[in-house]
Amino acid sequence: MKTVNIIYWIFTILLVTSMLFSAIGGFKPTPEANAMMKHIGFGPHVLPLLSVLKVLGCIALLVPGFQRVKEWAYAGFTFDLIGAVYSFIAAGDPPMMWAPILLGFVFIVMSYIYWHKKLKLKATQSLR
């Protein structure tokens, strides 16, 4: 149980940190951020919305309980990253521009897998 818990928290903290880091710029968009959003086909109004949703998703992952909300947070982060990668590819950007985003998928998948392992272990321990 201890190893599963440690791995879960490592990847969850990496996921939450990366999402919060990406959200920070959206609350006070810079001209560079607005130019990037225009380049990938979105208006500047999308950044604050995505930032709020990322913060809410991070809270959902960190607060105990609320399993269904956590499932939606994981799904939302996945949709966000899929949309980001697709947008950069559709804009014609080289892999160097969008490949680092793929690391976020690793954080999501590992956190999600180990969250479920944690739930299963907790369930089996409560049956004893």
Residues 23-75 have pLDDT tens digits of 998 888 788 888 888 999 988 889 999 999 999 999 999 999 899 999 999 99
Mean pLDDT in residue range 66-94 = 96
Q: Check whether 128 has a pLDDT greater than 70.
A: no
Q: Check whether 127 has a pLDDT greater than 80.
A: no
Mean pLDDT in residue range 77-89 = 96
Question: Whole domain around residue 100: which residue ranges?
Answer: 2-127
pLDDT value, residue 45: 87
- CA–CA separation, 34 vs 41, rounded Å? 11
The token pair at 111 is 């956190």
| pLDDT band at residue 123 using 50, 70 and 90 as cut-offs | confident
Burial class (CB in 10 A: 0-12, 13-18, 19+), 111: buried
| pLDDT band at residue 104 using 50, 70 and 90 as cut-offs | very high
Count up the domains in the chain and report the number: 1
pLDDT value, residue 84: 93
pTM: 0.91
Instruction: Name 97's Cβ contacts closer than 8 Å, sequence gap at least 6.
Output: 88
Burial class (CB in 10 A: 0-12, 13-18, 19+), 32: exposed
Q: What is the mean pLDDT of the chain?
A: 93
